Structure formats: C-alpha cells, structure tokens
A = this chain, B = another copy of it.
Amino acid sequence: MCADQIERLPTGITGFDHIANGGLPKGRTTLVSGTAGSAKTVFAAQFLAAGIKRGEPGVFVTFEETPEALRRNMLGFGWDIARWEAEGKWVFVDVSPQPEEELVELGSYDLGALLARIEHAVRSIGAVRLSMDSLGAIFTRLNDSRVVRNELFRIVSTLRRLGVTAVLTAERTQEYGEIARYGVEEFVSDDVVILRNLLEDEKRRRTVEILKFRGTSHQKGSFPFTVIPGEGIHVIPLSAIELKQRSSSVR
C-alpha cells in the first residue's frame, strides 16, 4: 500500500498502523495535538511500550507529569514502566517543574541544555523511539511567543540527527479551528496527528486523524477510537463499505 520512499515504524497501536499505511514515518517527529484528556499521553506512552515489545528502547521526555505519576498512571494499561527502566529499555528525561523551585526568571529556560540531556538519554540506551509530552509546558516558559517556531525547529532537527522516531504532543483548547496553541506548530512538523474528544448530544466520542504525512500517503479523515483498560488506544478502522455508508447518510 505504501509505494513511496518513506519507511514506517509500526506503532503497535491497534488499528492506527492500518490508517497510517504501516506506522509513523521512520526517523521523523510526529506532532500529536489534542485538547486536555484527549489521550495524548496515552498515545505517547503506548508508542514507546509497543516499541519495547519489539526490542526497541525508548526515551520519554516529560514536562508535565512526573515520572512517578506516569509509572502509576500507565500501570492500568499493563505497562510496567518501572521494570522497563530497570531493564534499560525505558529512560525518563524529567523536565517536570520542581515544586520547590521558584520561577526564577521567565525566558531563562535553557533549550540547549535540554537537548543535550535528551541526546545523552538516547545514547545511553540506544533508543529507537522517543516521546516528548508536551510542548505546551515548554513554550509557556519561553518569554517570547515569536520564538516558538524556531525553538520547535531546533527540537525537531536534533531528534532527526539522533535518528529516533519521535512523538511530540501539543495542546489545543478547542476541538476545531487552530491545530495547536501557537498556530505554527503544524507547519514546522513533518507529520501531524489529531486526537479529538468530541462532545455530541452530551456524550463524548474520541477520534483520531492523520492530518498530514509529508511525502507519503495515509488514510484520510477521522476514525473513532476508545481507551481500553489493559490495552490503551484502540482505533477502529472502518472498512470501505462502512465509509461509503457513513458518507451517504443524511446529515
């Protein structure tokens, strides 16, 4: 199905690899954008967990939740992160703010130092995959929103140089409209996935959509998914027949 030159890395997320025509573009960074609770962190962690099952070590850069919280939160999906850490298959780069530390100076955030720590972590375990969760936290600390584009480019470039396949989560405050907070993230990124948590008739419905994969093909449109205890994200790819029915239905 994928006749072009962009290699894929299977995510192991049920159904997602199907709509992605094999997985995420290898050696590149995919932006995963969604509102609060849209399952960005589950996606980012599951991407690493699936890699570990295939023998690919992973690095998880966390800006918001502490490693401790993530270890506990992901246990419900059957992912024993602590064990993987002990086995040298999972490494945290912990950039979550320290409760004690005052916010000395806005803008003093040192992106170069962070990238060095990430490089060190990747090297230390020979990481094949990397997740960074989430951009919202890092840019809030920058003192000039105009630099977002540039900083994001530096991150993506460094990850490319390191050869890892990466997932980078981004925050949005609305289900439609701007893709991410600053209106530039989706342009800097090669690949963009959107997670939605739609409120319809007072009920919630989750969907995932590949907005773009530069230089390669993928399934278009959005697909329903659920978050299942003991498993994680479970995408339900519609067959061609179902898609047809759906589109011909009155609206």
Contacts and interface: CB of A to CB of B under 8 A. Distances in A.
B73 A216 contact: yes
Contact of A214 (B5, B65, B189): B65
A2 to B, nearest CB: 8
Interface stretch (A8-16, A53-61, A143-151): A143-151
Contacts of A174: 177-178
A215 B73 contact: yes
Given A99-B161, A137-B149, A171-B187, A214 B251 contact: no
A113 interface: no
Interface residues of A, number: 81
B99 A154 contact: yes
Nearest to A102: B112
Nearest to A4: B76
A203 B171 contact: no
- What is the oligomeric copy number? 6
Given A187-B171, A201-B251, A215 B72 contact: yes
Interface string A158-170: 1011000000000
A179 interface: yes
29 contacts: A3-B76, A3-B229, A4-B75, A4-B76, A4-B77, A5-B72, A6-B72, A6-B73, A36-B179, A36-B186, A36-B187, A37-B186, A37-B192, A41-B214, A64-B187, A69-B214, A72-B215, A73-B216, A97-B153, A99-B154, A99-B161, A103-B151, A106-B147, A136-B184, A140-B146, A181-B183, A203-B220, A203-B246, A217-B227
B3 A230 contact: yes
A211 interface: yes
Contacts of A17: none
Contacts of A161: 99
Interface string A189-209: 110100000010111100101
Contacts of A103: 147, 150-151
A178 B181 CA distance: 12
A181 B149 CA distance: 14
B251 A99 contact: no
Residue from A158, A184, A189, A243 having most chain B Cβ neighbours under 10 A: A184
Contacts of A150: 97, 103, 140-141
